[in-house]
Amino acid sequence: MALSNIALSSGMRNNLLAMQGTANLMNTTSERLGTGKKVNSALDNASAYFASQSHMQRANDLDARKDGMSEAIQTIKAADAGIEGITTMVEQIKGLVNDSVGASTEVQTANQASIQELVEQINAMVSDSGYKGTNLLLDGDTEGTGVPEGKLTVYFNESGDSYLEVIGKDLGALGLGLGDTSDASVATTIDVLTDTSQALTDINDALNSLRSASTQLSANLGVITARQEFTSNMMNTLQIGADNLTLADLNEEGANMLALQTQQQLSTSALSLASQASQSVLRLF
């Protein structure tokens, strides 16, 4: 921009420079009041700006991990709900086995048919206990991908080197003829017509396995829930740290604006006084 050829007195030029400086400060203060930040770009304060961006980026990365933890919690809850329902039906089978001890062949045959129906329902419940393609009550490839359905990996930090592997329970090991959900008519190994004592032993073993699986899932759920809470607190800490580096004190900026407005008015008055010397020339005409 070319300099003006108009001659100004030193007093007027000094006051003009002061008014321009005040106007620049008012623009800066207005921006801070409008955005709520004292550092809006790297030009304002490079170190504070990039440090704040780093904190916010890490918070965003942790937020993505937090979403993964939430999904993992739902997967575990789905499996636990399945175990709870299966336990109820296994206890019903136990009642039928007890009812078959010393009973007539007719009663045992009827009870065996009821047990078979319950086993088929248990198999269906096992198949329905998955969440988003992961079923912690099964052990097998998911549609031939080679990824076991009964395993879940939960990542906790942004780099992915902190994680928890949740290993599900293969209900085929319960000894009830479970696990092959592709064939709901799979025969149960619980046979009250042959040996009620062995059937009762198998049922008690199955209940112990279910309790063990529920305990394991509950422990994993506790770990994930604790890490989820920790992640929320860490995200909050990072966001506060980022804000401390960039946020403006609105009370201070409001006071600055009032002071600058007063200074602008005084500068205008001072410029008027400085121009009086030049205005005296008009009296010659």
Query: Looking at residue 168, which CATH number applies to its domain?
Result: 1.20.1330.10
Tell me 135's DSSP state. Answer: -
Domain assignment of residue 64, yes or no: yes
pLDDT (0 to 100) of residue 274 = 60
pLDDT (0 to 100) of residue 142 = 46
Q: Which of 146, 213, 202 is nearest to 175 (CA)?
A: 202
pLDDT (0 to 100) of residue 6 = 59
Residues of the chain with confidence (pLDDT) below 50: 1, 140-148, 179-186
The boundaries of the domain holding residue 115 are 48-245
Domain assignment of residue 14, yes or no: no
pLDDT (0 to 100) of residue 181 = 44
Domain assignment of residue 212, yes or no: yes
Domain assignment of residue 148, yes or no: yes
Domain assignment of residue 259, yes or no: no
Q: Say whether 143 sits in a helix, a strand or coil.
A: coil
CA distance 10 to 14: 6
The stretches of the chain forming alpha helices (DSSP H) are 10-35, 46-100, 105-127, 196-246, 250-279
Domain assignment of residue 52, yes or no: yes
In sequence order, the 6+-apart residues with CB closer than 8 A to the CB of 281 are none
pLDDT digits (tens, 9 = 90+) for 29-54: 777 777 778 888 888 889 999 999 99
Residue 141 β-bridge partners: 148
pLDDT (0 to 100) of residue 11 = 63
Q: Say whether 164 sits in a helix, a strand or coil.
A: strand
Domain assignment of residue 65, yes or no: yes
Packing angle, helices 250-279 and 10-35, rounded to 10: 160
User: Could you give the C-alpha distances from 64 to 68, 69, 75, 116, 196, in angstroms and in order?
Assistant: 7, 9, 17, 45, 53
Domain count, the chain: 1
pLDDT (0 to 100) of residue 201 = 85
Give the type of residue at 42.
A
Tally Cβ neighbours within 10 Å of residue 267.
20
Domain assignment of residue 32, yes or no: no
